[in-house]
């Protein structure tokens, strides 16, 4: 067990968290994946193949030697199939939306409950989405049937073919469709954002055929 956990004065979880904390989401192509990262100051654990397989079965990350390198693997969240980089980037995205929309409301004399006012909020959201596209969090691609159905049901666009050609889609409820109660409460109309993750390549399967 000591081999798996490492010495008591090492904190591999804190070290990988520090790597992610250094990501500057305002820079282009700045997002990272946890897999293959080295952890300065941390000692790799000596793991057998059986131990590695068991850790991966339980979705436990580990830091070990691979050939001449020291790498962190697999880079997943503990109890589901989400990768750390996806979860961390999503946290940044949600926070950026909240901060930028707040700044709009606070910095404006008044954001009216009109189509123009709602458009100003959508413009702020679009700015964050474009930054997510720039930093590599999202990318154009085809979404699942479930998301495709949700987009069609929400937007009413029955011709949507499942391709998020910008990597994202923003929907804003028309002001004419908002309930009087929500308008009286000075709420913005409903907003919804669909994103396509850029993903990350962790494995490569290459076939080589040689014939005389």
What the block records as the tokens of 211 is: 């014939």
Q: Do residues 145 and 171 lie in contact, with contact meaning Cβ atoms separated by under 8 Å?
A: no
What the block records as the tokens of 169 is: 């889609």
Q: Do residues 135 and 29 lie in contact, with contact meaning Cβ atoms separated by under 8 Å?
A: yes
Per-residue confidence in pLDDT tens, the chain, 212 aa = 334 445 545 688 899 999 999 999 999 999 999 999 999 889 999 999 999 999 988 888 999 998 889 999 988 886 677 899 999 999 999 999 999 999 999 999 999 999 999 999 999 999 999 999 999 999 999 999 999 999 999 999 999 999 999 999 999 999 999 999 999 999 999 999 999 999 999 999 999 999 99
pTM of structure: 0.89
């Amino acid at each position: 067990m000591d081999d798996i956990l490492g010495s008591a004065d090492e904190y591999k979880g804190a070290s990988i968290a520090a790597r992610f904390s250094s990501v500057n989401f305002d820079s282009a192509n700045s997002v990272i994946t946890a897999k293959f990262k080295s952890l300065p100051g941390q000692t790799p654990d000596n793991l057998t193949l059986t131990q590695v397989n068991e850790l991966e079965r339980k979705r436990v990350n580990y830091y070990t030697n691979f050939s001449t390198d020291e790498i962190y693997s697999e880079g997943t969240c503990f109890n589901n199939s989400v990768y750390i980089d996806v979860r961390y980037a999503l946290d940044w995205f949600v926070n950026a939306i909240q901060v930028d929309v707040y700044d709009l409301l606070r910095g404006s004399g008044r954001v009216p409950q009109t189509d123009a006012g709602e458009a100003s909020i959508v413009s702020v959201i679009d700015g964050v989405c474009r930054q997510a596209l720039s930093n590599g969090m999202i990318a154009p691609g085809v979404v699942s049937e479930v998301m495709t159905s949700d987009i069609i049901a929400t937007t009413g666009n029955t011709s949507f073919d499942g391709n998020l050609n910008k990597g994202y889609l923003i929907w804003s409820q028309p002001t004419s469709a908002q309930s009087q109660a929500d308008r009286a409460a000075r709420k913005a109309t409903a907003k919804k954002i669909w994103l396509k993750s850029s993903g990350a390549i962790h494995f490569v399967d290459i076939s080589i055929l040689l014939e005389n």
